[in-house]
Amino acid sequence: MIKSVFDSLAATMEHENLVSLDLAKHSSEYYHANNNVLAYQKKIKSALPLEMQETLEQLDGEYNCMMLSGMDVYYRQGFSDAVRLIMETMTWSPTRS
């Protein structure tokens, strides 16, 4: 039960943070990197036969899926760490040694 509640909270937070977010408007690094990626893809696709272009698109899709899955793990771990820190801070009491 706790895991499903945590997953629900983390998914809600992710969704709220990413709705209508255009990274190109918020990050010049992202904007320039995105333009470079599109130029490289166009250059590579023009040099490849049609069946290899499809393979390149599939590779790109799987790579993006892999990267998003990794980012999701890091996000959830960060969220979990933040909740743990908040809980420890709220329950902390001074002790004598």
Tens of pLDDT along the chain (97 residues) come to: 455 665 666 565 555 556 667 888 888 999 999 999 999 999 999 999 999 999 999 999 999 999 989 999 999 999 999 999 999 899 888 877 6
What residue spans define the domains of the chain?
A: 21-89
| Residue type for position 36 | N
Distance CA 56, CA 53 (A): 5
Distance CA 43, CA 37 (A): 10
